Amino acid sequence: MADNHGNTPAAWTAVLVSLVGFVVGAIGMSVSPLNWPLFWIGAVIAVAAGPLFLVLVKMGLHESSH
């Protein structure tokens, strides 16, 4: 395993954006009646974490800080 496995700004940003997406989607599914637009907004946010990670990698933010 790499020394920087998961400990880079790119990885942390992608995980946090994905987490926000899952929380937004969960809120949309938790309210009564179901709030489908909020769920789909959360799904889009969670999926957007992947391309965001790739952009941050290309910017050089997936390098070890030490």
Domain range list for the chain: 9-58
53 by Cβ neighbours in 10 Å (0-12 / 13-18 / 19+) ranks as: buried
Q: What is the pLDDT along the chain (66 residues), one digit of tens a residue?
A: 556 667 899 999 999 999 999 999 999 999 999 999 999 999 999 999 999 999 999 998 887 655
Cα torsion 1, 46, 62, 6: sign:
negative
What pTM was estimated for this model as a whole?
0.84
Q: What is the pLDDT of residue 2?
A: 59
